[in-house]
Amino acid sequence: MTHLTPIRHTLTGLFLGGVVLLAACAPATRVTLLPQADGQAGAVEVTTGKGTQRIDQPYQVAEVGRRGDLSLDLTTAEAVRERHPRLLALQPLAPERFTLEFEPGTSLLTQASQAQLEEAIRRALARIGGEIVVTGHTDRQGTLEANDTLSLQRAQAIRALFIERGFRAELIEAVGRGEREPLVPTDDDVDEPRNRRADVEVR
């Protein structure tokens, strides 16, 4: 029996999205690790009665012989597309991210970001199902407590706009990070427009 153990990323039924393709064919089973959307690879250990083999590079292959012998190989993206077109078609779409900016001290979007919001909504509507995470941020003007409140208000305002356009409320999460994660690090009380933002991740 062959066992697969994910090292850094969740293993799905076909290890798509992580990504591993399993192919059972005589005389061997072949496990191929595919890159994630950012080009990086997770890692998986293939274990048989004869031992364990770790694969952690994109397009690295672990082959299992009839008697449980393990060997390593390397394939290419082109070869995987030719061999597993149906499995590759099952991969989820990579998350899309949008950054929206706000007027100072408010949860009102700037004029430029209103147009960006429309693009984010359009892209989200084009996806089947999925979730949306909105994370609000502030610059370093004001107190820490006030910025925590304002960042959450910003995230909730964007969440409400998505719901108004027909998105299911239970699939949209709004969180506030205050001034803790600036896009542009600054000293205290500095007005930095790029930090007055909400990051929208469409999954």
Most confident of 43-52, 57-66, 108-117: 108-117
- State residue 4's pLDDT score: 57
**Average pLDDT for 44-58:** 86
Cis peptide before 27 (omega within 30 of 0): yes
> Which residues of the chain form beta strands (DSSP E)?
3-6, 20-25, 28-33, 44-48, 51-55, 60-64, 70-74, 96-101, 132-136, 172-176, 197-202
The pTM of the whole model exceeds 0.75: no
Query: Given this model, what pLDDT does residue 115 score?
Result: 92
Cα distance between residue 64 and residue 71, in whole Å: 7
CATH number of 96-202: 3.30.1330.60
CATH 3.30.1330.60 in the chain: give the residue spans: 96-202
The answer, yes or no, to whether residue 156 has pLDDT greater than 50, is yes
Structure tokens belonging to residue 187: 């000293």
Residue 18 above 60 pLDDT? no
